[in-house]
Each structure stands twice: as structure tokens, then as C-alpha cells.
Amino acid sequence: MNRSLWRRASLFYVANLFLSLSTGYIVYQWFHSESMEQLSADHTAMISSVNTAISQEMGDITNIIRLANEHLMEAIDNDSDDDSRAEIFLRIGSVLSNVSQIRWIDLTGKETIRVNFTENGGQIVPENELQDKSSRYYFIQAKETSPGGISLSSIDLNIENGRLTLPYQPTIRVSLHTFPRHPLGEGFLVFNFDMTELFQRLRNFEEPQSQLLIAAGETQWLINPDSSLEWSSSKNSEPASLKVAQPELYERLAEYHVLSLQRGENDAIFSAALLPIRMKHTFSSEELYILARTPGQYYTLLMKDALLPAILTFLGTFALVALFILRDIRHQEHVNVLNKQLLAEKTELKTALERQTQLRDELVESEKMASLGMLVAGVAHELSTPVGGTTMCISTLENKLERLEQQISSGLTRSELDNYLSATKESLTISRHNLERITDLIKRFKRLAVDRGSESPVRFNLMQVITDLIRTLESQASSRRVSITHNIPGDIQLNSFPGLFSQILQNLITNAIHHAFSDMPRGEVVVSAINKEDSIEIRVKDNGSGIAEEVQDHLFDPFVTTARNDGNTGLGMHLVHQWVSVLDGRIVFTTKQNEGTEFVMTFPVTSAPQHEVPDNQD
């Protein structure tokens, strides 16, 4: 390998190294971004689910205490059994599964009624065991509300007689400040709601990679993966809260209320949301901090998961590009040989294309000759009837003449002479009529032939061209039980190429005759035209089976046919489209299965060909 190739290879390998490193880095960033987006979605979903569950629970308990108060008032007013107020409280609480205590506290903070509810049922607390709650924070908070208002306490552990209830019972106290007209007077209806079931449902939202943490303001953890850190304020233990554990995260969350994918202690990833407990007509100072945490070791796994495809991409890219570089260097010396081979292949391809063009031209010519054959066959068929009739008349006259000569030799009578003259006159009349038909057919065919050979536009009558064409195609159509009619005004004059118009309409009509009525007993093709100021609209419509759906999008492409086995080349409709374009016209069609097809063509009244007029002479 010469020096220039070595230099070129070195530059390529340096570029390859840079490219491979860049590709690997991009792949790493993409996988890492995808993982973080998924993690963010998991965090958001969990926080949203927790938020919804808590908000729904808070809404339920405020609705419960209002409904319970209404039932309480109604039960007391309608009490005909002299039930004690406590027994009414007992009946109400027995149907509420998450209520652990119902109390009535007067305006001084003393309990006058209290019913406790456990798994074993409800229990009315004796009067001597009722307590003074005037110093408790939730009573002070409830006292600040107006009558009709509801206050929610903080969520903490239930305390009875100065001791925590075991097992721990997360509790929220809901106080309704009653109006003076209440049957029990103005006071406070207090419900203790056991939140154990709610907290269990909240823990169920956790995923292996997403841990749930809930903090109550600055005071304590309500839910923490380390259960020893929960309820520190209620247990009067060493302070443990979000503010203590993550002061920076706490400050940012207090400021922005929502955080996503924040780095914390031990490389853990946090997403968090601040949830104020706010219900309509309800007072609460509680704010819950809901956090989703992904441990640092899981984040490390995410990085490793992103790093592995990045390394594989780097190695694969470097190896693949290096292989191409090596291949390029090895094949550099064979460029001349490849160029020669390419030139030879180019020559062969050119020859093949020329041959294909020649074959295509031959097929087009064959299509035109077939079209001419149809015209000749039609004319021949039309000529056969009057020619046969004339021949029969001449034969009859010969027989009559031979008989007359015999009668003259034997004695001709007046009646025999009159019969001969009458028969001769009739035969001559029939012969003249047939000869006139023959002359008319020859004129029509001659007009078609001359029109199709014209290389310059001429003025012509559209109805005459179409009438001549239909007359030549009638025999072909009748053999297939198809009728051809037209609705062409006699005053439409065009300055264009009548031969092209005739060829276009012949292809459309014969196409309908051969393809539209294969499974039908009879068919009809109608040609119509409308004069529109500077343009003419021609329609060819049949009531046949319609065009197959798989052919419709390619109908005007060359060599498209559904009857190739019958010898069709598939050029007829392609030539129609070309000829219409040459006449500066346009053609569209509509078709429905088993209802027929209609071609609509629009041409200018005066045509100057857009391209060289193709040879359409048959």
C-alpha cells in the first residue's frame, strides 16, 4: 500500500473513532432519557394516584359528617322510643366502617357523649369516663369556625387517656360546629376516622423502583420506607421529617409545589407534590408532601442499562465503518476495472432500453392495426347486406329475362310482359337503394380514414364523426348484444383533429363492448356531448359491470389489462389518455360495481396540439 493510501486510511480511522464515540454518546443519552421519562411517568402516576385517593377520602369524610349530622337531628326530633342520645350515636356509627369514635363536645370543650367503635362493635363510654378536650388542638381549631363550618385536624396517631392506641391507628378528627337550633344545642359533633385502610391502599401504589413517602408539614413522616421514622411527632421521639431529612428539597417544594426527578441523598431520585387539604366550607391547616423516591442503586442500574447499548453501538459502528474503510482501500486499485464494467453494463442497458422502446412501438402499432381491423370488419359486415341484396336482384332479373326470351319464342302475352316490367322495376329500385347504402358506407369509411390521416386541425361536425364511427361499430356491438346510441347536438363544430376524436371514442366504445358486459345478457353504450362556451364535454357511458377496483388507480398506465390471456396488450386506455392530452383536454371516470362506468372528457373548441401529434393512422 502506497503512502497516500496509508494517509487516507489514517484520516478515515480517526474520523471513524470520532463518529463512533459520538454515536455511542447519542445512544446513551437517548436510552438514559427514555429511562428517565419512564421513571418520571411512574413517579407522576403514583403521586397522582395518591393525591386522588387522599382528596377523595377527605371529600368522603366531610360528606359523611354532614349527612350523619342531618340524620342525627332527624333521629332526635323523631325519637319516639325515648332512646338515649348516645344510643342514636351508636346506631349512626355502627354503619360506618372507618369511624373509630363519635363525640359531642360542648362549647367549653367537655365531652357529653362519646361512643367508641372497634372490630367488636360500638361501646358507649360511661359519663364518668368522659374527658375534657378543651386543651386539644383540634378543639381549639374547631372553635375558630363559624356554626355550620367543618374543621379537619392533622393526621396523627390516636391517643386515649394520654396513651397511644396500639396497634398504631392513624386518625383524622373531623369537627362540625353546629347551630344553636340543633337538638343538642350549639356545640361540636366530632368524628374520629380511622385512616389505617387508606394508608394501606396508599402503600399499594408503590412499585419496586418507586417508593412512596408522605410527610405532614414540617412535623413528621406519615409514610416512609423506614417505618421507625414514621409518626415521630406523635410518638414524641427524635424529630424525623422531610425538613430534617431533605431540607433543600423541602424548601424547593414549598416554593414550587411540584418537583420532578430531583437528586437527593445517596443519589436517590425524587419527584414530589405539595397537597393542601382544602375542602369546600372546610377549614384545615394541614399540608401533605407526597414524594416518589427511586433509590440510588436503581438509578445506577438505569445508567448501566443505558451504557450497555451505547458501548455496543460504539463497537458496532466502529467495526462496521472500519470494515467499509478496509473494503474501500482494498477495492481502490480495482476502480478502473469497475468503471469499464460499468460502461459495458451501461451500453447493454441502453441497448435493452432501445429494444424495449422498439417493442413498445410495435405493440402500439399492433393496437392501431387491430383498431383498423375492427373498422374494416364493421364496414365489410355492413357492406355484405346491400351487396347480397343487389346480387339477388341481378340474379332474379337474369332468370326473368331468360323466361321472357322463352315466352317471346312461344308467343308473348300482354300480362306476361306487364309482369316482367313490374318485377324489373322492383328489382332495379331495390338495387339502387342497396347501391346508395354501399356508397354511403364507403363515404363514411373514407371520411374516417381521411380524418385519421390528417396532420393539421380542420373544422368538422362532431355528430357526423360520431355517427360514422357508430355505424362502423354496430356489427361488432350487435354480435355481443350491445347497443350503441348517441345524444349529440347537430350544431357542435370543432376546429381540431377529427381522426384523434374518432380514435379516442373507438377505443372507449370497443373497450366497453369487450369488457363491460361479459356476464350480462344485453348492454348499452351511450355517447353524449354538451357545448360549454369555449369547451366541449363528451361522455361515454355504459351500464356494464364496472371497472375492477385493483385496476382503477392504474387504468391509464401502459400494459394494464384484465384480459391479457385473450390477446389484449393493455395499451388502449393508455393511448386514449395520451391522445386526450395531445388535444389539450382532460379525462376522468367514475365507476360502480354492477352499475356501469362513465368517462368524461373536456376539450377546447379549437385545439392546438400540446405535443407532436402521434401517428394514429390505421
- Domains of the chain, with CATH numbers? 44-297 (3.30.450.20), 356-604 (3.30.565.10)
| Mean of pLDDT values over 294-308 | 86
pLDDT of residue 570: 66
Q: How far apart are CA 382 and CA 437, in angstroms?
A: 9
In one-letter notation, the amino acid at residue 367 is E
Mean pLDDT estimate for the chain: 82
Q: How far apart are CA 555 and CA 363, in angstroms?
A: 17
Q: Within 126-279, where are the H helices? A: 137-143, 196-203, 242-245, 247-256
**pLDDT of 423 over the 80 cut:** no
Cβ pair 196, 169 in contact under 8 A? yes
| Mean of pLDDT values over 548-567 | 74
**pLDDT of 443 over the 60 cut:** yes
Which pLDDT band, with edges at 50, 70 and 90, does 618 fall under?
Answer: very low
The least confident of 257-271, 475-489, 520-534, 600-614 is 600-614
**pLDDT of 479 over the 90 cut:** no
3-class DSSP string for 283-337:
ECCCEEEEEEEECHHHHHHHHHHHHHHHHHHHHHHHHHHHHHHHHHHHHHCCHHH
| Mean of pLDDT values over 245-271 | 87
Q: How far apart are CA 45 and CA 58, in angstroms?
A: 20
The proportion of the chain whose per-residue pLDDT surpasses 70, expressed as a percent, equals 85
Which pLDDT band, with edges at 50, 70 and 90, does 306 fall under?
Answer: confident
Express each pLDDT in 343-393 by its tens digit: 888 888 888 888 877 766 666 556 555 555 655 655 565 666 677 777 777
User: Would you tell me the crossing angle of helices 572-582 and 335-410 to the nearest 10 degrees?
Assistant: 100
Q: How far apart are CA 542 and CA 605, in angstroms?
A: 25
| Residue entry with cell 337474369 | 398
**pLDDT of 166 over the 60 cut:** yes
DSSP three-state, residue 474: helix
pLDDT of residue 223: 92
pLDDT of residue 564: 55
Please list, in sequence order, all residues whose beta carbon lies within 8 angstroms of the beta carbon of residue 10, skipping any fewer than 6 positions away. none
Q: CA dist 209 to 62, 297, 301, Å?
A: 35, 10, 11
Express each pLDDT in 72-85 by its tens digit: 998 888 875 545 88
| Residue 204 grid cell | 399499594
pLDDT of residue 279: 53
Cβ pair 173, 198 in contact under 8 A? no
**pLDDT of 445 over the 70 cut:** no
DSSP string, 162-185: TEE-SS--EEEEEEEE--TTSTT-
In one-letter notation, the amino acid at residue 229 is L
| Mean of pLDDT values over 252-273 | 88
pLDDT of residue 455: 55
| Mean of pLDDT values over 270-296 | 79
**pLDDT of 581 over the 80 cut:** yes
The least confident of 29-38, 90-99, 154-163, 289-298 is 154-163
Q: How far apart are CA 400 and CA 419, in angstroms?
A: 10
Cβ pair 187, 104 in contact under 8 A? yes
Q: Tell which residue, 200, 204, 225, has the closest CA to residue 213.
A: 225
Partners of 587 in beta bridges: 601
Q: Tell which residue, 362, 211, 348, has the closest CA to residue 293.
A: 211
